[in-house]
Amino acid sequence: MKTSEFSYACILFAVGFISATWGTDTDGVYKIGVGVGDITGPPAGIVLNGHINPFTYAAGIHTRQYARAFVVESITTGNVITYVTCDMGMIDHSMKPAVVAKLAAKFGSKYNESNILISGTHTHSGVSGFMTYFAYLVIESQKFNPISYWAAVDGIVDAITAAELSLQDGKIFWHQGELLDTNRNRRMDQYEMNPQEERDAYPYSVDKDMIILKFVDLADNPIGLFAWYPLHPLSFNQREDNPLVCSESTGYAAVLFDAALNPAGTLPGKGKFVSGFGSTNLGDVAPDNNDPIISPSRIDLTDDMRKLRNNGNKLFNKATQLFNDIANLQPISGPIGSVHRYVDTETIEVQRFDESTGQTQTMSLCKGALGFGYVGLDPEEFPFLETIRDLIKAPSEEMVQCQSPKIVALAAGEMDDPWQWAPSIVELQNLQLGSIFLAGVPGEFTTMAGRRVRNAIFNATGDKVIVAGLSNNYINYVATPEEYEFQEYEAGATAYGRNTLPVITTLLQEMAVALKDGTPESIPIGDPAPSFLHLLPDDVKPRADPTPTNGAEFGDVIIDVGPTYTVITETEVRAVFYAGSPRNSPMRKGTFLTVDKLEDGRWTTVKTDADVDTAFYWNLVNHHGEISWFVDPSFPKGTYRLRHFGYYRIIEDGISIPYSGTSSQFILL
């Protein structure tokens, strides 16, 4: 062994000895790390993900999409868990294997499909084109976009890599508290189908508690914050007519929290402190926006930004209050572990005790199907609907009986041309973080469905449970059996029938017990779902950008900023540039815009397109790029400029050529 290698080995041994001596799972000392990665896809040429609206195409950015990760490694056993919350509508089943493969090239077998949980926040303003089951591809995004897909995978890998490289000894605390006037149940008639006795056990028809994890080093310096609160991300694009990509209220809150905890001037996505606001049981939960909608003009962000800020600030303020409530933070200690399982929905059977009858039942699932309640149509009112359905695929009698009272609108589970339309293999997962369980569920669980999952795991383990929604794969909504009888939107989208929740809950409980007992290997892993990546055509083709008129070039200013702005109330500073299509590049790890400040004769970037007070809109009609900065009166006065960055193509199949443009200087007074 060379001297340098011997010295390095000695250092590693010493570090390991000190760590093992001074910190163990029992002491609540772990190796912890956090990281963030840009997952923004090309914000043009493809519909936004979430609303199933074929007419709302992406055309610019209000805030970037990020993956935000924490890694916890046991000093005692070496076990690792990883949680990633992504500013995405949902997670495709093929993404985690792709992430694991890329991480294996860097870190060997340390990260695997059992110890990584990837969750989507469910923003309805994210770039689409990354789902691969045929029904999702056709309904959600109309086409596959490999740039969107790999931007997400690579950004998740970046986040986990950053967390791995920042691992240090530290401690974790949890806290929870009530946040009111922020969410409401959007389906009360469905919720009231649940037993009165069960509903009476809760003060509200939605969960109102935010739960946080606070990460600190051994000197109590903050490292990260991750929070969960049930809120459907519908603040920014509620009318379904806003074309700007946005990470929604959860992403907004994370940008604010990162800014508050990182050194002044740190740009979004660039700081060492990382926060994340994840999804939980948000299926029937809407933002509590009772004020009137303001009619938009041009791309008028007034109403959408107001709602986004309102809900994002509420999340940020509550998380801040819990984070700083030192006296009531609860330390976490105990083992680190993980378990996951691939469930074959067509063969799974579970034994479940029915308290109402006192008997044990054998429960199974149906092949996946969506009901007419999901699309808001009633076949009794419009009998021709079933005729139209049958032209696509008539459900089998077995499916009709199994899915009853759902009236099947799309028999996706019985369709495999040109490949599978819907999942038949579903992944479930539990992460154990000392006395906390993170239950990774694969869809949008309603309020009561999430409560039943939490209660089942708590009753079996005695530990705190966080339901991590939209994790690892997506099966649409999951309602309780009682809610399923109502067959409105969420129940109509409960794909595997009335038993979906009881079967999933039973399996998650078994998995949690195995983790608690230290026997996760007793849980059968099962066979993973197939990948369809090799079958997917690249349907988002490049296009040539029209050459600017009158001898202008890409990046030239069309409408310049004013010379001065007196900022007494929030003021928009705006410039318009000749622009190439943003579909040419998502500018991942970059930006379509900057706000620069002149200080001591040098320009310093103070804002990017990831900030919550900037916007880049690409006008498809005239191929103009509109840059807006909404200046708060408290922002430092001085001399500034706006810059625009992008790529253009001269010919359709040609290379993308970078360009930039700069506005005139302006002064904030």
CATH code of residue 633? 2.60.40.2300
232 is in an annotated binding site: yes
Residue 162 has a pLDDT of 99
Same domain, 170 and 215: yes
Taking a C-beta distance cutoff of 8 angstroms, is the pair 617, 242 a contact? Answer: no
The residue with tokens 């003009």 is 297
Low-confidence ranges of the chain (pLDDT < 70): 1-23, 290-301, 539
Same domain, 89 and 158: yes
Q: Which of 500, 522, 544 is the last residue of a domain?
A: 522
How is 647-665 classified by DSSP, letter by letter? Answer: EE-SSTTS--EEEEEE---
Contacts of 551 (CB under 8 A, 6+ apart): none
Residue at 416 is within a domain: no
Taking a C-beta distance cutoff of 8 angstroms, is the pair 599, 228 a contact? Answer: no
Burial group, residue 543, by CB count within 10 angstroms (0-12, 13-18, 19+): middle
- Count of Cβ atoms closer than 10 Å to residue 310 Cβ: 18
**What Rg, from alpha-carbon coordinates, does the chain have?**
25
Helix, strand or coil, per DSSP, at residue 429: strand
Same domain, 227 and 286: yes
Residue 354 has a pLDDT of 77
Same domain, 139 and 250: yes
Taking a C-beta distance cutoff of 8 angstroms, is the pair 657, 612 a contact? Answer: no
Angstrom distance (rounded) from CA 61 to CA 341: 37
Residue at 493 is within a domain: no
Residue type, 105: A
> HEC profile for 356-386?
CCCEEEEEECCCCCEECCCCCCCCCCCCHHH
Same domain, 174 and 248: yes
Comparing CA positions, the residue from 211, 212, 213, 204 lying closest to residue 181 is: 204
What is the helix (H) or strand (E) element at residue 459, kind and residue range?
helix 447-461
Same domain, 322 and 432: yes
Contacts of 96 (CB under 8 A, 6+ apart): 113, 116, 118, 427, 472
Same domain, 514 and 620: no
Same domain, 218 and 298: yes
CA angle, 115 then 116 then 122, to 5°: 145
Backbone angles phi, psi at 363, to 5 degrees: -115, 140
Residue at 632 is within a domain: yes
197 is in an annotated binding site: no
DSSP state of 489: H
DSSP state of 551: T
* Token representation of residue 660: 């930039």
SS3 content of the chain, % helix, strand, coil (to 5): 25, 30, 45
What is the helix (H) or strand (E) element at residue 285, kind and residue range?
strand 285-287
Residue 50 has a pLDDT of 77
- Count of Cβ atoms closer than 10 Å to residue 663 Cβ: 23
Residue 382 has a pLDDT of 87
Taking a C-beta distance cutoff of 8 angstroms, is the pair 231, 572 a contact? Answer: no
pLDDT digits (tens, 9 = 90+) for 514-571: 999 999 999 999 999 999 999 998 767 788 999 998 899 999 999 999 999 999 999 9
Residue 8 has a pLDDT of 36
Residue at 23 is within a domain: no
DSSP state of 266: P
Same domain, 110 and 207: yes
Sign of CA dihedral 202, 204, 207, 211: negative
Angstrom distance (rounded) from CA 459 to CA 439: 14
Q: How many domains does the chain have?
A: 2
Q: What b/e readout covers 626-642, taking b as 16+ CB neighbours within 10 angstroms?
A: bbbbbbeeebeeeebbb
Residue 3 has a pLDDT of 43
Same domain, 114 and 216: yes
Angstrom distance (rounded) from CA 225 to CA 219: 16
Residue at 89 is within a domain: yes
Contacts of 15 (CB under 8 A, 6+ apart): none
Taking a C-beta distance cutoff of 8 angstroms, is the pair 184, 204 a contact? Answer: no
Taking a C-beta distance cutoff of 8 angstroms, is the pair 99, 156 a contact? Answer: yes
DSSP state of 637: P
Residue at 412 is within a domain: no
Residue at 45 is within a domain: yes
What distance lies between CA 451 and its chain's CA centroid? Answer: 21
Residue 301 has a pLDDT of 63
Domain of 33 in residue numbering reads as 29-341+426-475+510-522
Taking a C-beta distance cutoff of 8 angstroms, is the pair 370, 496 a contact? Answer: no
Comparing CA positions, the residue from 425, 419, 417 lying closest to residue 345 is: 425
Sign of CA dihedral 191, 194, 196, 199: negative
Q: What b/e readout covers 16-51, taking b as 16+ CB neighbours within 10 angstroms?
A: eeebeeebbbeebbbbbbbbbbbbbbbbbbbbbbbb
57 is in an annotated binding site: no
Angstrom distance (rounded) from CA 310 to CA 321: 17
Same domain, 214 and 317: yes
Same domain, 312 and 184: yes
Residue 257 has a pLDDT of 99
Comparing CA positions, the residue from 22, 77, 81, 66 lying closest to residue 217 is: 22
Residue 294 has a pLDDT of 37
Please report how many Cα atoms fall inside a 13 Å half-sphere around the Cα of residue 574, on the Cβ side: 13
For residues 663, 625, 617, 599, the Cα torsion angle rounded to the nearest 10 degrees is: -20
Residue at 12 is within a domain: no
Angstrom distance (rounded) from CA 605 to CA 242: 27
Contacts of 327 (CB under 8 A, 6+ apart): none
